Structure 1
């Protein structure tokens, strides 16, 4: 019964989101955009704007900060991966993956962060591009996705300053555009 109710809630919330105007230009984020939709490994948020539109409208920092607030402060989830998926003309889906983390494949566990230790052999092989705030990596297991990390080591994205977060999202978009990124493929943000 709970699964059916969750599916109904997800579909109803998604329908409500689709009827919201997508042309806001102020810095306020509509609360409907902060409603999570459950799935097997975590939950998702649906945004009517594309990643590029969030940045162009100067909403990326505010939107992602609000998602982090919902995730960390309201749901007390601190260990997660964030995945951005383009929905074409329907905007963007942001997934927070945290359930069954031990069952998910990922990089080899080590004492040093794979993405912070630039002397690490895996880091040397997988780094595609870096700019002042962002590093873009190939997936260590050659899956069809890119990994994006802040250039400096942080434990959680919410620990970035407002200016750092704004610049991080801008630099991410610039670096991916320069690399000819196919925005239809998933983009993973790893911390």
Structure 2
């Protein structure tokens, strides 16, 4: 490890790969309200935050486990459709809190066209939140889970053993993965009716 009078140890969160302090500095200087989607191994968590010197203030929060508990979601809680639905939920809550515009803060995620982060952002935009982003590409079918449905259909005919293994959680919850796009539409309708 380097040492000496000119060596400066980076902040702990930077060393751990959790925070890009230059980006954070830009958000603070602009006093921007941030739309912050984060994806873990199990869930999608979205915060709409405002900077405060004492600590960020959460204006609206949405967690993908709510899709299961409140709206009857039977799919995975961290896939592309779940990211979209959680983003939609966060967008509705942000609008209720009086937020009309936000800036996407994807943190240290590498921007990938059609990725789950952008599905969450698209959900918030479709809910009515203004988030300036470039071309999101054609992710309409991905957010509905059409790609998962088609893969399940293909896998069931080619390798039934692997199909049962990969989609066991879907089937245990009572959802045929080939019906995911229809289930997505049902849950989205419930969220719209509830209004958040």
TM-score, normalization: structure 1? 0.26
Relative to its length, the structure with more strand (as a share) is 1
Relative to its length, the structure with more helix (as a share) is 2
TM-score, normalization: structure 2? 0.26
The structure having more radius of gyration, on CA atoms, is 2
